[in-house]
Amino acid sequence: MKKYKILVCDDEKDIVDVLSYNLMKEGFLVEQAFNGQQALQKVTSDFDLILLDVMMPYMDGLEVCRSLKENPDTKNISIIFLTAKNSEIDEIKGLELGADDYISKPISIKKLLARIHSVLRRKEQVNLANVLKIGKIKVDLDNYEIEIENQKISLPRKEFETFVYLAKNQGKIVRREQLLANVWGDDVVVTQRTIDVHIRKIREKLGDYADLIETIKGVGYRLREKDA
């Protein structure tokens, strides 16, 4: 089972120590920071969640959150704000910046742990929703990557989006007009021949799995429901 990594950031050492102790008892990996600058120095892409105080010296939690969400390497880390301020305006600011939750001090450990587990469950569900599996093919929708038997293959953007559209409609006949409208859009003028060329290139890259894409003569294509 994966051990989640959490950063606890608060300018009050007693709070950091109490939270860290309880999180480690729960089985989390924990690191500490005592101001916003320290948090930014310590955070790497392998963190799963940050408990982030809002009111801190040098750099407040809102600034830290904004910086993390603007960085492609850290934008997907979940953030729960901790604050002594019970202000709806601050809560709205935090959530608008991309925070996942907001807890006012004094902190109930039981409530905090429940909120953490809830945020991490939602994160896992989102991650699963962003991966398609077709037999031994895995499609990572976030990173525009396809793996076949654990080997990555490279598809240009339109080829990738064409394959994804077929995958999302697996087992159904997809007309060329549908692919043109949903992959290229109405504002781009391309011919149906463009679709055929992209399908041919996708098949070449699928190798032994090329037959997964079935041609429906005179109509379009279908991604088979089972490996060919």
What burial class does residue 37 get, using C-beta atoms within 10 Å of its C-beta: 0-12 exposed, 13-18 middle, 19+ buried? middle
How high is the pLDDT of residue 102? 87
Q: What is the pLDDT of residue 184?
A: 83
pLDDT at 192: 78
Residue 221 has pLDDT above 70, yes or no: yes
Residues 174-211: tens digit of each pLDDT: 999 899 888 887 655 667 788 899 999 999 999 999 99
Domain with CATH 1.10.10.10 in the chain: 131-223
Q: Band of the pLDDT at 117, cuts 50, 70, 90?
A: very high
The model carries a pTM of: 0.60
What pLDDT score was predicted for residue 185?
A: 78
| pLDDT, greater one: 1 or 32 | 32
pLDDT of residue 228: 41
pLDDT digits (tens, 9 = 90+) for 119-144: 998 887 666 567 888 888 988 887 78
**What is d(CA 193, CA 197) in angstroms, rounded to the nearest whole number?**
6
**3-class DSSP assignment, residue 219:** coil
Give start-end residues of each CATH 3.40.50.2300 domain in the chain: 5-129
Measured CA distances, 36 to 102, 147, 175, 197 (Å): 17, 38, 53, 51
Is domain 5-129 given the CATH code 3.40.718.10 in the classification?
no
> Looking at residue 128, what is its pLDDT?
59
Compute the average pLDDT of residues 66-86.
88
Share of the chain above pLDDT 90, in %: 55
Q: How far apart, in whole angstroms, are the C-alpha atoms of residue 54 and residue 84? A: 8
Q: What is the mean pLDDT of residues 11-27?
A: 96
Q: How far apart, in Å, are the Cα atoms of 76 and each of 46, 72, 109, 177? A: 10, 8, 24, 35
CATH code for 131-223? 1.10.10.10
Residues in the chain: 228
For residue 90, pLDDT beyond 80 = no
Distance of CA 7 to the CA centre of its chain: 19
